[in-house]
Structure 1
Amino acid sequence: MAKVLLVYPSLRLLGYRFPYSLIPIANYLKAHGHEAVIFDAQVEDMRDFSPEGYDMVGFSILSGPQIRSALDMAAIVRERAPDTPIVFGGVHATLLPEQTAEHPLVDIVTRQEGEETTCELVETLVSGGDLSAVRGLTYRRDGEVVSTPDRPFLNLDDTPFLNYDFLKTERYVEFQRKPSIIYLETSRGCPHKCGFCYDPVFHKRKWRSKSPERVVDELEFVARKYGVQQVWFTDDEFAVSKKRVAAIAELMIRRNVKVKWPIFSRANYVVDYDREFLDLIRRSGCDWINFGVESGSPRILDLINKQITIDQVIRSVEILRDNDINAGLSFMIGFPGETLDEMRQTFELIDRCSSMYDKVWIGQISAFTPLPGTALMSECVRHGFRPPQSLEEWGEYYYNDPKNLAHFEKSLFRLIRTITLLTKFDFAYRGYRGAGILERRKVLKLIHYVLCRIAQWRWQRKQFSFPVEWVALDYALSWLKFGER
């Protein structure tokens, strides 16, 4: 039996990101007779970080401050357990495996899905076997970075049911709030090829799913074990198969699985949802459908290869309105070459959708973030973007940070910075819908209320000049070195 420490480094967020990526790996290791321990540096005391006594320490990393945190923790491993192999995996390590493996604090990189690769890797390390026989690795050998062939993707129905006991669940608001929430994955990959997304590189546009029976079996298991009232699916694209979604809903009704379940879909999927289908999923507990719009400009939608139209967006909102289902829409600005008029087209589409239905929820308008390996990266470089050149530089890179778009003309850059900050609040709604997890913290709730009202005032009048309050907030976040905005 091998012993593996799996680490989720801090992302320097105002809150935290649920460390879902490590849970399937820990479950897989346990199912194959190994001991796995998860250390989530976001919620645990670093004084409790003890890397001694493990056969391997693995870090999951996303592009950005999590890399910096991982390198700091890897240095502790090197100092206190110098003979323990240090392994980096996750999205960033898959997108830039050679650059990651070149770092002296990284011994081995695991690419793409982590379950089988991590399990076979630690067994090989313990037995003194040949790393070149393990698929899905990148590592240094005799001073040269080498990679083994990619590993075939898993059959997801063969993976063990998720067990969240690897986490200190009392430290996560998802388990404590009402309604309580749990995360669950029913598929991986996405058949589409949006230019801003890393998924075509990570999953190679191969969508594969758990069967409806397996999904509902697992839903029953986690709902019973953890007593949750709501399940958030973490799939890259849950709704690829309408037939599968309907089968899941039918089984949930038949087995009396009573949980709420919002889903993420696409505008070109929603336009094909008829009343019978929407009634079925609503009766099973699905009362919310989210989809990414990204832009109100047809040219930008073509540039990013979104494969949807503005008419489909409008029609989707109409369909959800007519069937009384909440609609969540997300947008971005700052795409390479985007003009002020094209940003205004996005603002106009947001206003149009918001005016159609009082259950339309518009999330923050994000600042487009160039990510390594994505189709739009070369276009960004052509417009003046300079990508980070080392693992350390990627550790100073922030997702959803307008500073990544400093190559824009100054007035546009200032607009992007203002928009991404003020839309973090409930800007497109004319009332106040509450402070969420801040509800019991009176001072923070008051601050949240004031910022929401300011955001709404500015948005309704499109008054984005002299945004002193948002500049102050941006400086405060930068001074505190918080990551994702």
Structure 2
Amino acid sequence: MKVLFVCSEDISLGVASLSAYLKKEKHRVFLAFDPRQFNKSYAENKSLAHFFSRESEILHKVKEISPDLICFSVYTANYQWALILAEKIKKITDAPIVFGGVHPTLAPEEVIKQKAVDIVCVGEGEKPIAELLENLKKGKKEHHIANLWFKDKGKIIKNEVRPLLDLNKLPLPDRDLFLGQLPDSYFRSPAIMTSKGCPFSCTFCSNNSLRKIYQGKGIYVRKRTVGNVMVELLTLKEKYRPHYFIFMDDLFTVDPSWLEEFLPLYRKKINLPFSCFSHFNFLDLKTARLLKKAGCNLVLFGLQSGSPLLRRKILKRPETNEDVLRVAGICREVGLNFSIDHIFNLPSDSKETVFESLNLYNKVRPNIINCYGLMFFPGTEIVDIAVGKGILKKDSYKKINEGKEAVYASLVGKATADDYRRFALLTTLIPLLPQKVVAFVLNKEKRVNFFSDLPISLIIPIKLILYLKVNLGFIFSSVIGNEFFYLKQFFKYKFKSINY
């Protein structure tokens, strides 16, 4: 059977895993990829986005391949794009269309009612999609497959979620599926997952909602064995000759004993720089030394706010400012670069809590501070909090589930005020400025306002400098190189179409 996956913007390790599993089951797997050029947060232009649309190319590919099943990889930010494209694909093929991914998993009621969507995959898709293909192959209309929702004669059939998979029994992700459609940068600095799930219950994160869906279906936080991960790393090293690895686990340092076994082996057999995500309650001096010795170039921490009250009451994060300062000291002691994520426009955020955060970051002195505006995702607890505080209206649930708008909130001054635009530039700049200079600026609101009046786009060169300082300048060059790669692809297809 022929399966066509439709993805956008980035490589999907989920799709790569599905592809490997289905190929093992002797199915033929294809990919239609849309980079969505000029339709991204850092490069958005509606006219250019329309001109460089890959829609006709994808529709041509559907006709050419004539797949038996079409599977969309969907998250909230690309849900409307997926719906529009699925509607057009529906006009040229009778192949069933499946929507899977985080957004359909968290908002299946919204997704299944769409005319262009035949099936929704809730949760992991390897086994259910394989079972679906076998039924299609035999001509069976079987609507009782765990994890899948179907439509049948006007009725919606909702099947239960099956137990979580053993990650060690899955084949290695099929990254070759993306070769030729994605730039070399995705293979020269590949992302890898050694685990799935997070032990925390942050209100803004989909992990908390996903854990509830899988309640009673197995251990939510699952770690691959050291041997299993090493096989993938060695395969990637031999196949693609990477220069850097990015461990994308929600919490790479969740299991210290696993790290004690893995990191010395990584240094011995892989010996390439890498970055990973950690938590201020999951990094001690011993682990920091192991990370540094193994070649860790950057540890990313998701603090989100320097206000202990906001973290505890709004975000449900357990770390204290003392934990933050202690771990920052450990990182400096061993020479480990680290970054902090900050989210602006949180419910109950105020000028006082923002200044509290900035003062803490000036004490912590991370190498990089990544700033974001709050975005609400389906099924997350922070949506309930925002509605309860009157920041969002009750109809926001529907808008969020439909993925029709990025919803931001602020309680500084008027409801339309945006703390990101007011404070993100200064926050990003803190690691570059001397500690005394930052303290001087924060001492007077008038000085802070000076930075608020500067173009927000200055964040880009500032972050370039910060990333260069930690030997990660290739990230910025990759972004530029990627866009040129997609432009070249676009014009190559257009030229070919004209000749035909």
Deviation, 1:227, is 0.4
Pairing 1:371-410 to 2, within 5 Å after superposition = 371-384=377-390, 385-386=392-393, 388=396, 390=398, 394-398=402-406, 404-405=408-409, 408=411, 410=413
Structure 1 residue 73 corresponds to structure 2 residue 85: yes
| 1:116 aligned residue | 127
Deviation, 1:217, is 1.3
Q: Secondary structure at the match of 1:462?
A: helix
Alpha carbons of structure 1 residues 127 and 410: separation in structure 2 relative to 1, 3 Å: farther
- The one-letter code matched in structure 1 to 2:102 is V
- The one-letter code matched in structure 1 to 2:337 is N
Q: Deviations over 1:179-231 (max 9, x none)?
A: x3001111111121111111122244710011011111111111110000111
Deviation, 1:389, is 5.5
Alpha carbons of structure 1 residues 430 and 374: separation in structure 2 relative to 1, 3 Å: same
Maintained 8 Å contact 2:376/2:400: no
CA distance in 1 between counterparts of 2:305 and 2:400 reads 32
- Larger helix proportion of the pair: 2
Alpha carbons of structure 1 residues 417 and 285: separation in structure 2 relative to 1, 3 Å: closer
| 1:447 aligned residue | none
| 2:156 aligned residue | 145
- The one-letter code matched in structure 2 to 1:427 is L
Structure 1 residue 337 corresponds to structure 2 residue 348: yes
- Gapped regions of structure 2 (runs ≥ 5): 37-52, 213-218, 434-440, 460-500
Q: Secondary structure at the match of 1:206?
A: coil
Q: Secondary structure at the match of 2:288?
A: helix
| 1:227 aligned residue | 241
CA distance in 2 between counterparts of 1:392 and 1:370 reads 7
Deviation beyond 4 Å, 4+ runs, structure 1: 387-393, 409-413
Structure 1 residue 251 corresponds to structure 2 residue 260: no
CA distance in 2 between counterparts of 1:471 and 1:229 reads 30
| 2:193 aligned residue | 185
Alpha carbons of structure 1 residues 320 and 392: separation in structure 2 relative to 1, 3 Å: closer
Q: Deviations over 1:431-457 (max 9, x none)?
A: 7xxxxxxxxxxxxxxxxxxxxxxx99x
| 1:19 aligned residue | 12
CA distance in 2 between counterparts of 1:72 and 1:412 reads 32
Deviation, 1:286, is 1.7
Alpha carbons of structure 1 residues 240 and 468: separation in structure 2 relative to 1, 3 Å: closer
Deviation, 1:140, is 2.3
Q: Secondary structure at the match of 2:234?
A: helix
2:455 to 462, 466, 469: 469
CA distance in 1 between counterparts of 2:20 and 2:223 reads 18
- The one-letter code matched in structure 2 to 1:19 is S
CA distance in 2 between counterparts of 1:329 and 1:404 reads 21
- Gapped regions of structure 1 (runs ≥ 5): 10-15, 432-454, 474-485
CA distance in 2 between counterparts of 1:420 and 1:26 reads 43
| 2:146 aligned residue | 135
| 1:284 aligned residue | 294
| 2:74 aligned residue | 61
| 1:439 aligned residue | none
| 1:316 aligned residue | 327
Pairing 1:201-240 to 2, within 5 Å after superposition = 201-204=209-212, 206-240=220-254
Maintained 8 Å contact 1:290/1:328: yes
Q: Secondary structure at the match of 1:267?
A: coil
| 2:482 aligned residue | none
Alpha carbons of structure 1 residues 471 and 246: separation in structure 2 relative to 1, 3 Å: closer
CA distance in 1 between counterparts of 2:139 and 2:272 reads 47
- The one-letter code matched in structure 2 to 1:212 is V
Maintained 8 Å contact 2:422/2:449: no
Q: Secondary structure at the match of 1:39?
A: strand
Pairing 1:320-469 to 2, within 5 Å after superposition = 320-354=331-365, 360-364=367-371, 366-384=372-390, 385-386=392-393, 388=396, 390=398, 394-398=402-406, 404-405=408-409, 408=411, 410-411=413-414, 413-419=416-422, 422=425, 426-430=428-432, 461-463=447-449, 467=453, 469=455
- The one-letter code matched in structure 1 to 2:298 is W
Q: Secondary structure at the match of 1:51?
A: helix
Alpha carbons of structure 1 residues 196 and 175: separation in structure 2 relative to 1, 3 Å: closer
Deviation, 1:340, is 2.0
- The one-letter code matched in structure 1 to 2:69 is M
Maintained 8 Å contact 1:351/1:428: yes
Deviation, 1:292, is 0.9
Alpha carbons of structure 1 residues 283 and 409: separation in structure 2 relative to 1, 3 Å: closer
Further displaced range: 91-100 or 344-353? 344-353
Structure 1 residue 267 corresponds to structure 2 residue 273: no
Alpha carbons of structure 1 residues 472 and 336: separation in structure 2 relative to 1, 3 Å: same
Maintained 8 Å contact 2:110/2:401: no
CA distance in 2 between counterparts of 1:225 and 1:215 reads 15
Structure 1 residue 194 corresponds to structure 2 residue 180: no
Alpha carbons of structure 1 residues 460 and 189: separation in structure 2 relative to 1, 3 Å: farther
TM-score (norm 2): 0.78
CA distance in 2 between counterparts of 1:153 and 1:8 reads 24
Maintained 8 Å contact 1:169/1:175: no
Deviation, 1:79, is 0.9
Deviation, 1:393, is 7.1
RMSD (Å), alpha carbons: 2.9
Q: Deviations over 1:349-407 (max 9, x none)?
A: 122212xxxx621112x122222111222111112313546579733222xxxx5216x
CA distance in 2 between counterparts of 1:24 and 1:460 reads 52
Alpha carbons of structure 1 residues 96 and 464: separation in structure 2 relative to 1, 3 Å: farther
The percentage of aligned residue pairs carrying the same residue is 23
CA distance in 1 between counterparts of 2:446 and 2:326 reads 24
CA distance in 2 between counterparts of 1:428 and 1:311 reads 20
Deviation, 1:236, is 2.4
Alpha carbons of structure 1 residues 421 and 253: separation in structure 2 relative to 1, 3 Å: closer
Q: Secondary structure at the match of 1:414?
A: coil
